[in-house]
Structure 1
Amino acid sequence: MPMARKHQISLSDTAYYHCVSRCVRRAFLCGEDKLTGQSYEHRRSWVEDRLLFLSTVFTIDVCAYAVMSNHTHVVLHVNREKAFGLTDIEIVKRWQKIHKSTLLAQRFTAKQSTPLTQAEQITLNATIAIYRQRLYDISWFMRELNEVIARKANTEDCCTGHFWEGRFKSQALLDEQALTACMVYVDLNPIRAKIADSLEMSEHTSIKRRISHAERGRQPKVLMPFVGGSQQHQSPGLALNLLEYIQLVELTGQSLAPNERGSIAADTTPILTKLGIEKEQWQILTQCFESTFSVAAGTVDSINRYRAHTKRKREIPIQISV
């Protein structure tokens, strides 16, 4: 029997998750219908724009993403502390960006002169608590992403019914090694699928967005930043620095060429040593991450702690050696 989603997302174990959504009509998500010749490529922008918009509403950071022809990958970081650091009015205003709030919440944000009664204030507080919890909930984040895309696609196709296969699949990323490997795996999806020849040509991916901003000496505000180096302990973010990560993705991607399959460029060795991952295992992880792991990914110690805490009876296969 499948595990309930609330048990799969365990913030006490990790704040990082890899989520995958697949389309029930397969190639008609964002690809091209070879039978009719009709292109649905414009839907990639729908997904990317909605994803990045939601990152400004929810207290959930986007670490990596790739919008493919029949599925989407996103690597998310749940910032629960940020949600509880927001004021009540900030919470309501964020929620109002995606939904019409209750009448009491509307009165609250409108700052009407008529004060709320004690009963109304109690009701409002309960409502705000619900909104606050939803704004750091991955299930709500993915719901707000997928439902909007499904409605737009069904309207365009003049049909009804399911657009996605079902609920999204999630993998807990238990440590820095698993997080980095998963992000590289996601960013290299177009290269592996042979729909892009370079990272700069990998449309609708986080790596393309990061590279375009890096060329101007910046990092994209809609993505979780890299804070490696001197800033590592000053602000929340990803452990490597941006240039290290881009180099790691670039050199790992070069090893995906048919005549070089199974090899890793020597220039990646210092970064892999820093992460504590062997070159041979890195090759497997960045090509087959999704199939290598089930509900959680990490080192042997991380996996064992996760199994003990979540009381999983079945063994989680293939762990990262360090």
Structure 2
Amino acid sequence: MAITPAGPAFGCSNLIPSNWWESRFKSQALDTEEALLSCMAYVDLNPIRAAMAETPETSEHTSIKERIHPTFDLAKAISRQTEQQALNEFSVPLKPLLGFEGVIRNGFQRGILFSFEDYLELVDCTGRISRSDKRGCIDENALPILERLNLDPRRWCERATQFEDTYQDYRQSRRRAA
């Protein structure tokens, strides 16, 4: 049996058999859109189920909050890591969250084949289901997520499905003004 050192980050200061890690962490292929969406919703709802947040948009360290209120700047992160020479031995590329597409374009799928509006509603609906083995859920009296975010469903759908066109025009107009 191999022994793996466990650092203080895991609350351990002694050596732990490596089969502990193998039994604790398992991987599962997410080979369908349904599997991917259910896994994403499960992870995004963890803070709700643990009663650490009341709604998905207020849950810390989740992809749904990052999608709603983006804070990650990929270019800035790469620049900062390059300055610190932290990426020299890094073999995994840094990437932002994969986008929602809603449709396959030109026979090619670049993002998640689901609209972001539908994903928000899926998470909101799933989060309202009370489970006896979990401490929390989204309050049944809470407004629907699109209303809580003050999003007009038609306008939101348009912006989410035509993201590149909408924001490319905005970026170009800002560059011309500068």
The alignment's TM-score, normalised by the length of structure 2, stands at 0.47
The structure where strand makes up a greater share of residues is: 1
The alignment's TM-score, normalised by the length of structure 1, stands at 0.28
